[in-house]
Structure 1
């Protein structure tokens, strides 16, 4: 057997070497990558012919010379009382002879192309073996059923017309060695099989297999595509996990090599800033930075927008609607703004409207502040009444609208925002600075913070960490219009600069149980991180660093 191995840089070059050495009719047995490129194992066509002869001789073994031909003929010829035996032996003869006559010859025809891949060859061989197995199962099932129980049909009629033809063909293909004294019996069998040879070309069982085989490749193709898709999904998942883990390891290794970045990371985590913002700050800090906290404070201060250098809201005037989640202090903030305006310009130039008609007695708090200031409070139940009140108060320098508190995931939040869609209304989003970072993020998205005039930070006196709120404002590029740090009206209303807010956020007083040491920082940065909303702001933040 002439089997050779060829190695080249590419498959095309390897196949060219195969054709040059073995000819155009060479048979490619396998292809696989190697250290030098691609390795191809091929065989000469003469070796394939040798395999064909060996397979043919193995498929037609000679019968023992001592066995009388007459007894074998009698055993294969069905008699009146032995129909089941004749059917069984006939089926066995076809099951053995069919693969021997088809396997090698069909393979020679399919392998005549020199570029036939080894994978196609193996798949064809497996399909043929499966067809042979289906034939054997069908033969066994038919042989187990008595002749009387088989329903009359085209195939049954053909089998009934020539019950001895199938055993005769099987004996003819087997080519037994017969003693001279029994030659007439063998000749009789050959004559009987020749008389009915037209009934068995193609054989009956092959017709049944041909009917069933078209669905098999389609089902196998579907299963193969599904397995391939599952494998690709697993590979993508593994690739993403490996990239995330290696990225986290690289970041932590960088922190270990640069102690200043490690200290900055730990302090910012204690202040409540998000890991995404901390990662950007740590990566942007240069090696020449001596005071990492002062450097981080300057970067955060330049990226936090504050209205401390603009005229205050009470001086600008206009129509302002205070919106926000439940219990963030919208009514109290409205009263503080109203008191600050009335103190400077007088109550006659101020208008107050409340939309909080959902809760019983909810508008009474604002009415109490209005009585103190000497300003009537109007109630609007829908958009039409709100527009009428705005027309009525159009001569006022400042109009404040107090809205009902709704959870950020309440379905009525969208209705409230649509109600405040009048072109003259400026929305002020009131955010609880003591809330968690995830909650603040959800509030900013639900109340469409990008369409608001700015943000008011409330309950600063209750906030242990101011970092989460400022982190969200930096990422969404929102302006801080004012802060509220108490219940007093109007004493607890302030306008702070970005510098004051950042320094307030960088000096947290957290309990020891919630403080993380250097070794526990790995737990945060070893977790997978994804591109989240506001990462574009982080990139812009690094430009200002």
Structure 2
């Protein structure tokens, strides 16, 4: 049998070489890719006939289940010879039996199987060995070899049947004993462990550390997290209650702090600021230096020191520059713009003043500022977008003061951010106009929405309408905002003022609440018993000096 290997760049060229060597009836054994292209193994048709003749003369036995018998491959002979020599080496008396007996023929038949059938045969035998290992039974392969050796026919030259069977049994037992001794010697230092059965397929082995926890294992963790959350909540509640009780006890033991707390809450200051003030209030005052209401005077001085005003700087109309008045709807931005413009025109003349309006949302909104401009003799320009605003600022760059009146929007309106972005010009300084008659929570919301921290200052409008100015001043103190001026009416420019911090605080402390809104000591205890702890106050409120 003549088998040749052909190599070519493609399959077509390799087959052409095969036909050229063996003709059209050539037998192709295999083809596979190689570095040079395609490699093909082929032989002449006569070789196939020779294989068929050898297969016809080979002995046949029944193969195991699901295993098909095929002619023996030429490569089986060396393996059979080695098996025979192993038999002769074990016992010279079994040499003849080992050369021609049934086990050798069975091996020949097994090796003659196809590759796929042989794999099935090996898999079945390994599964049997694995099942026997798991069940604690002896190895079926060794038992089968021993049984086959015992059941084989006696060869010629053996004196007696009983003696041959005993020799075969002894040889099988010696082989099994030698194998067990070798295994015991290999595992002698350590405790004998169960042999791991062979794995016939690829398996994914996950270590105990990398294994995902089950739902039952995760449940205790969730319970612990819920318990910790409840404990933290309980701890916060206990701290809050004890803090309130300690504060109430302090008020009961110190009447000065109790009177101050009641007064500050009545005029409208926030509990966070009141608590901070009361903590720093002295328990006793020098009667020779203080009046009948010592604690109130002390609180007024502390509030005045922490309230920032523009009283020590030049007036706004003296400074000059570009100012944009922003704020919520109806706080008086247009009127305040006219007051500042009139005060500036009185001192420096209308020729140095420029007026711009951005209020294009309300019907006739710009007409109000135009009316004030006609009175002052100053033209009013309208800007509809950022580009036109920048063009107007460049046109009025020679003016000493330029005032920009903006559209009033609610602090939660989405257009508020667009207006602030439109005024993000480096030369524009923003003035936030706040209605001092609003509630403290509303003022807090306005300050946050209009980004008061980045503004040049704050204008408090409608102080003549405010029953309580304390909420507005409380917000100014906690956020450290500067009060540029106040407006207390509709007259232009008479109702534009600059007040000192002391004057604003005294005005806030003098405001009296209606009888329905006054509180006694029991109300104070009730408020602080259910109110938040001191730690919940804003950081700015904790910075009093």
Identify the TM-score tier after normalising by the shorter chain: 0.5 to 0.7
Measure the CA separation in 1 of the matches of 2:534 and 2:513: 28
Measure the CA separation in 1 of the matches of 2:233 and 2:317: 55
**1:371 maps to which residue?**
374
**1:258 maps to which residue?**
254
- 8 Å contact from structure 1 (residues 324, 405) kept in 2: yes
1:244 aligned onto 2:230: no
- 8 Å contact from structure 1 (residues 270, 508) kept in 2: no
Measure the CA separation in 1 of the matches of 2:225 and 2:368: 62
Measure the CA separation in 2 of the matches of 1:238 and 1:434: 39
After superposition, residues 418-437 of structure 1 pair within 5 angstroms as 418-437=421-440
- Name which of 356, 360, 363 aligns with 2:359: 356
Normalised TM-score (structure 2): 0.59
- 8 Å contact from structure 1 (residues 456, 483) kept in 2: yes
1:404 aligned onto 2:407: yes
**1:301 maps to which residue?**
304
After superposition, residues 113-132 of structure 1 pair within 5 angstroms as none
- 8 Å contact from structure 2 (residues 328, 408) kept in 1: yes
Partner deviation per Cα, 1:19-74 (whole Å, 9 max, x = no partner): xxxxxxxxxxxxxxxxxxxxxxxxxxxxxxxxxxxxxxxxxxxxxxxxxxxxxxxx
1:280 aligned onto 2:276: yes
How much does 1:438 deviate?
Answer: 0.7
- Name which of 488, 493, 496 aligns with 1:485: 488
Equivalent position SS for 2:521: coil
Root mean square deviation, CA, Å: 2.0
- Name which of 465, 490, 508 aligns with 2:468: 465
How much does 1:342 deviate?
Answer: 0.7
How much does 1:532 deviate?
Answer: 5.2
- Asked which structure has the greater CA Rg, the reply is 2
- 8 Å contact from structure 2 (residues 411, 445) kept in 1: yes
Normalised TM-score (structure 1): 0.59
Q: CA 1:233 to 1:534, structure 2 compared with 1: closer, same or farther past 3 Å?
A: closer
Measure the CA separation in 2 of the matches of 1:501 and 1:249: 33
**2:231 maps to which residue?**
235
- 8 Å contact from structure 2 (residues 339, 496) kept in 1: yes
Q: CA 1:520 to 1:459, structure 2 compared with 1: closer, same or farther past 3 Å?
A: same
- Name which of 341, 344, 348 aligns with 1:341: 344
1:391 aligned onto 2:394: yes
Measure the CA separation in 2 of the matches of 1:498 and 1:216: 66
Residue correspondences, number: 331
* Structure 2, unpaired ranges of 5+: 1-207, 287-293
Partner deviation per Cα, 1:258-298 (whole Å, 9 max, x = no partner): 00000000000011000000000000012233610000000
Measure the CA separation in 2 of the matches of 1:216 and 1:314: 72
Q: CA 1:328 to 1:391, structure 2 compared with 1: closer, same or farther past 3 Å?
A: same
- 8 Å contact from structure 1 (residues 332, 487) kept in 2: yes
Measure the CA separation in 1 of the matches of 2:356 and 2:526: 50
Partner deviation per Cα, 1:425-460 (whole Å, 9 max, x = no partner): 000000000011111111111111111010000000
Measure the CA separation in 1 of the matches of 2:252 and 2:534: 23
